[in-house]
Structure 1
Amino acid sequence: MLPPLKSLPVFEAVARLNSFSLAAAELNVSQSAVSHQIRILENHLGETLFNRQGRNLELTTEGKRYLDAISNSLLQIAQATNQIKGEQETHIRLAVYSSFAVYWLIPRLPELKRLYPNLELSIEMSHGSPDLSDRTADLFITTEKEKRGFIFESLYQEELFPVCSQHYLEAIKNRLNVTSDKELTDKLNETPSPLAQFSLITSYSIYDRHTEDWKRWFSNLKQPLPNTIQFHRFSHLMLAYEAAKHSLGIALVNDYMMNEKNDEQALIKLPCSGFETGDNFYLAYKESRKNEDIIRYLRKWLLEEAKTLA
């Protein structure tokens, strides 16, 4: 038996906006009308869809499950209606990690706009793995690789390597008493690593604890992490990157943060080894939406651009 169809877009709006009042404003109805439609739907399903505690509102487990089940159907109905009316969808949402968005994606957006001038891209930045759901975005860049009903295509295998500013590089050369690039390369690849002599910048966001990034870097060289290192600690890779730009020390950053489309790189990659973190980045989207033109356009462009990271 079909549910009360008038209630479904109301439920989707409340769940997406996490607010009865905001849903009412979007739908141009009263808040009491929104509450009434939610009650009708809950009575029909025999389940509570929202937990209400004062001003706080959140989906119940049953509400989340129901939203996942119906959101794509509502989207397909809207798209089919637009096609019949001759209206082409031009707006698409991409959920992406904040550092990937800032250092890799945004510098490339002018080229995307040139290729697809009518495409309207909304970027949803995420600090953790984004919730793979239509209510979050249409496409996702994520390190997750499994969810039923989704296609995952590999974009990038993460590698961290040491970087510093030009000013700090000169300080490294002076302390190591080297002048040429070859001398620097030879010196930095000695065992034990001379990087332990310098201030190192560590971030929390990849391994959920400070210094673990450098511990793994030294482990990749089959060396223990020296206990004499002076560390500067930051919560996020983006902060570590900025700290290195301002000559605070040497940071470990990944490939996509070194934006090769920028002619004047603020940071310099040191001539010594990096290491793979074990994280793979994927482009994810619902299998049921793979033939939508707007999905295909953005997917094709992202995969082509990601070849620069290989």
Structure 2
Amino acid sequence: MLPPLKSLPVFEAVARLNSFSLAANELNVSQSAVSHQIRILENHLGENLFHRQGRKLELTIEGKHYLDSISNSLLQIEEATNHIRGQQKTHIRLAVYSSFAVYWLIPRLPELKHLYPNLELSIEMSHGSPDLSDRTADFFITIENEKRGFLFDHIYQEELFPVCSHSYYETIKNKLGTVTNQELTSKLNNDPSLLAQFPLITSYSIYDRHTEDWKRWFGNLNRPLPEGIQFHQFSHLMLAYEAAKHSLGIALVNDYMMSEKHDQTTLVKLPCSAFKTGDNFYTAYKESRKDEEVIKSFRDWLRKEAKTLTTLAI
């Protein structure tokens, strides 16, 4: 038996906005009308879809499952309706890690806008892995690679390597008694622990604890983390990047953070070994939406741009 169809877009709006009043504003109806439709749907299903505690509202387990089940159906109905009316969807919501968005994606958006002037892109930045759901976004860049109903394309194998500002690079050369880049390369390759003479910038966001990034970098070279290092500690990789840019020391950053267009980077890769963190980045989108024109256009553009990543493995 079909549910009361009028209630479904109301339920989706309340669940997406996590608010009866915001849903009422979006739907241009009264809050009481929204509450009425949710009550009708809950009575039909015989389940509570929301926990209500004062002003706090959240989906029940049954509500989450129901939303996952109907969201794509509502999108397909909207797409079919727009197709019949000759209206092509041009808006796409992207969920992406903050550092990837700031340092790799945003510098490339002018080209995307030039290629697809009617495309409207909404970006949701995430510190952790975003929830793969239509209520979160239409398209994802994530380290997740498995969920029923989703398609995944591998775009990047994460590597970290030491960087510093151009001015700090000269400081390192002077302190180590090297004049040319070749001399510095030779010294650091023979003894990577020389970096411990300089302040090292560590971030928390990859391994959930400070100094673990450098510990693994030295471990990749079969060396223990040297003692007596002066560390500058930051919560996120983006902060570590900015600290290095302002000559606070040497940071470990991702390859994609050094992939700005037109060589705009303000940091220098030190002539040292990189190491793989074990994480891989993927694009993800609903399999049922793979033929939507806006999804195909954005996917194809992203694949082409991703070829600039040195460790690409699409």
Q: TM-score, normalised by structure 2?
A: 0.97
The alignment status of 1:292 with 2:292, answered yes or no, reads yes
Shift of 1:188: 1.1
What whole-Å deviation, never above 9, does each CA across 1:160-197 have from its counterpart, x for those lacking one?
A: 00000011111111110100111000111123521111
1:103 paired residue number: 103
Taking the aligned partners of 1:64 and 1:291, their CA distance within structure 2 comes to 26
SS at match of 2:282: strand
Give 1:92-241 correspondences, 5 Å limit.
92-191=92-191, 193-241=193-241
Which residue of structure 1 aligns with residue 20 of structure 2?
20
State the AA in 2 paired with 1:171: T
1:88 equivalent in structure 2: 88
> How far apart, CA to CA, are the structure 1 residues paired with 2:35 and 2:6?
13
SS in 1 for 2:307: helix
Counterpart secondary structure, 1:161: strand
Native 8 Å contact 2:164 2:269 kept in 1: yes
What secondary structure sits across from 2:72 in the alignment? helix
CA distance in 2 between partners of 1:265 and 1:288 (Å): 39
Moved more, 187-196 or 224-233: 187-196
| Matches for 1:18-97 after TM superposition, within 5 Å | 18-97=18-97
Give the % identical residues: 80
SS in 2 for 1:118: coil
SS in structure 1 of the partner of residue 118 of structure 2: coil
* Whole-Å separation in 2 of the counterparts to 1:263 and 1:7: 52
8 Å CA contact 2:158–2:279 kept in 1: the answer is yes
The residue identity in structure 2 corresponding to 1:63 is G
In 1, Cα distance between the equivalents of 2:192 and 2:292? 54
1:89 and 1:264 map into 2 onto residues whose CA distance is 34
| Paired amino acid for 1:51 | H
CA distance in 1, matches of 2:125, 2:27: 26
- Residue type matched to 1:219 in 2? G
What is the rounded CA distance, in whole Å, between the counterparts of 1:21 and 1:118 in structure 2? 31
**Please, which runs of 5 or more residues in structure 2 have no aligned partner?**
none
Alpha-carbon shift at residue 263 of structure 1 (Å): 3.1
* Ranges of 4+ aligned residues in structure 1 off by more than 6 Å: none
User: TM-score scaled to structure 1, two decimals?
Assistant: 0.99
| Equivalent in the alignment of 2:255 | 255
Shift of 1:86: 0.8
Partner amino acid, structure 1, of 2:186: D
Match of 1:7 in 2: 7
Letter of the aligned partner of 1:32 in structure 2?
A: S
Separation in structure 2 between the aligned mates of residue 259 and residue 157 of structure 1, nearest angstrom: 14
- For 2:277 and 2:185, how far apart are their aligned partners in 1? 23
